[in-house]
Structure 1
């Protein structure tokens, strides 16, 4: 009798989101977090586009220039683990704000670096700060969306990556070719640091109702639900909301028997998928040079490839809502693999362009689906922890892939052998995702 009474006076947050309509408030939250996604991509990619200018100023060797590019990614590895713990304690919103603001402040020190050691240290610490944006943004948005719109919303959020890449490319071109006090790579870094002030816009959106309910903050959870639904989701005055909770709050819960298989699978997917993408695109100018393209032709090639990524997210967003995460991602990764091997063995320039554009389209569409999928596979109590561990694996791949691919190129491997080696990691990704459970249409626990 007591259990029946409890069932009548309490309800899972996920069940409320199952019947919640999509409102203008969701759209506002989406716009705020989309800009955060754009900023994250901008900050990740800018250092690649301005590294040659920095190298010229500091007289860096190619090895030092490469390590400088990797410094922010290396910093994001401990940052991912640290901010996951903070996000579970402080909340999704506050950790996202603090991460973006702290990055902005630390990054502003970069132009004042007096030597390579200081420059490397500042970029590494900035990466630690930026780790919170990487691990909080997607889980936060997933916890704010109705069940039916969750997959599409996260894939749309992922479209911030190509836009951020294009803006970073534009900022690099504008400042590196400009004149005056703030011209050059220092001006580009200052601008990229100041966009971190967008963190103050995050204050205008509510905290995740899932996180609030998990912490027992009933009034705030109810207020957040009312805000997002514009009052269309009704709760009785004595009705409580709840989410599944861990026995004991700990980052290491993701390694317990219940989650260890899932954690192992998603971590392997994140590493292999990131290696397959990053290993190719960080060395693409060099690989294209092997095929006879000049540096300016390579940049045009990369820009066009990036433009092809934008519609891929739109198509993937529509398909994932219709056919589910697993089917769409398997098809997109499989087509990316075929396109990748086609790119490796292109007989002429036309084939190379077509295959690379197809590779950009299908691989980035798959990334959009994956960002939605692997943020949903854990319950609220360990969602950010699980997401951060997988995101950390991505950054390990980002750090290791350029060095490993550089090594095989140094061995004298031909273009087709190098690209084929990279595509093996995409094949591994394709095999592993078959074992991850579908989450389309299911409520978040």
Structure 2
């Protein structure tokens, strides 16, 4: 079989299967200490969990090999990986040691199929002159899997699930909603502001100048918020600033003259960005030090989701000819939601970080 497209498609897939196999066998090794705490088991039982995958692979290898000779290599790869995905997820949700041990054994039984047929399948596809070199390159998937397991273990050493437990669950949910809605209220307007201004009669050059002036008004907004938050606290500055930003948005939506348009938007820029400055601080003070980086990463992700969706949704509204006022009010509604969800979190001004 001459080298061609089939090899280009098969090689990365089989390489990744080898990476997954390495990951599967070693990932729990690097968090074995946590197993004892999570399931209240001693080192003897931890050893059984760590051996479970290999134990499951013994019958798995003996079964999947003959099956692959009967139904084909590709079919075995697909069924093996599919079964592994379901069982591995189940093992992650194990409520006790017994369920964990059983699912880990099954996690070895399932991927043994693709592990067993990876090299035979790849060798059968390759031309004779390339077989030796290519098979060796495929083996590099093993150390890549080791590195991936180590890297992810280190990345998750903040235990993200802790953000959803106990007292942190409530604050995490509130934090995510505020980050999403507040960023939508800002980004949904900024991405379409030049277009909206042109709908109000401004030229492209004038609308860009308008945006530039808005950016200038953001600076004193930040400065004022900085001066006030140290005196009055995070909440007593953030909530009024968001409220005033929402009021400015409504005023902007119903501006009947160019002067009103300018004043409303500059007020919106001043208060919304001033609030952002406070939120960047307040948002980082909710979580203990061990989880602060993880909490901030979730906050950033929520903001990016809003950044990704807002331009498309607002663009769809404009395409439906909803009009300037309706579009601005829709965007401003997200600021109102942010205001409501920002009211319950505790004040953190003057408190030491945990």
Q: Which residue of 1 aligns with 2:204?
A: 295
Give the Å deviation of 1:251.
2.0
Q: Which residue of 1 aligns with 2:193?
A: 284
Partner deviation per Cα, 1:311-339 (whole Å, 9 max, x = no partner): 11111001000000001011101110111
Q: Is the 8 A contact 2:158 2:294 kept in 1?
A: no
Structure 1 position 374 matched with structure 2 position 310 = no
Structure 1 position 387 matched with structure 2 position 296 = yes
Partner deviation per Cα, 1:27-82 (whole Å, 9 max, x = no partner): xxxxxxxxxxxxxxxxxxxxxxxxxxxxxxxxxxxxxxxxxxxxxxxxxxxxxxxx
Secondary structure class of the residue paired with 1:427: helix
Partner deviation per Cα, 1:179-222 (whole Å, 9 max, x = no partner): xxxxxxxxxxxxxxxxxxxxxxxxxxxxxxxxxxxxxxxxxxxx
| Equivalent runs, 1:12-27 vs 2, <5 Å | none
How many matched pairs?
Answer: 200
Task: Select which of 313, 329, 332 maps to 1:423.
Answer: 332
Q: Which residue of 2 aligns with 1:333?
A: 242
Q: Which residue of 2 aligns with 1:406?
A: 315
Paired with 2:243 and 2:216, the residues of 1 have a C-alpha distance of 21
Give the TM-score taking structure 1 as reference length.
0.44
Paired with 1:313 and 1:277, the residues of 2 have a C-alpha distance of 15
Paired with 2:158 and 2:176, the residues of 1 have a C-alpha distance of 21
Output the aligned Cα RMSD: 1.5
Give the Å deviation of 1:258.
2.9
Moved over 3 A (4+): none
Secondary structure class of the residue paired with 1:374: helix
Partner deviation per Cα, 1:341-386 (whole Å, 9 max, x = no partner): 0000001000000000000000000000000001001000101111
Q: Which residue of 2 aligns with 1:397?
A: 306
Partner deviation per Cα, 1:74-117 (whole Å, 9 max, x = no partner): xxxxxxxxxxxxxxxxxxxxxxxxxxxxxxxxxxxxxxxxxxxx
**5+ residue gaps, structure 1:** 1-247
Q: Which residue of 2 aligns with 1:212?
A: none
Q: Is the 8 A contact 2:249 2:265 kept in 1?
A: yes
Larger relative contact order (Cα-Cα within 8 Å, sequence gap ≥ 6): 1
**5+ residue gaps, structure 2:** 1-156
Paired with 2:199 and 2:188, the residues of 1 have a C-alpha distance of 16
Give the Å deviation of 1:249.
4.2
Q: Which residue of 2 aligns with 1:260?
A: 169
Q: Is the 8 A contact 2:233 2:347 kept in 1?
A: yes
Richer in helix (by share): 2
Q: Which residue of 2 aligns with 1:165?
A: none
Secondary structure class of the residue paired with 1:259: helix
Structure 1 position 311 matched with structure 2 position 259 = no
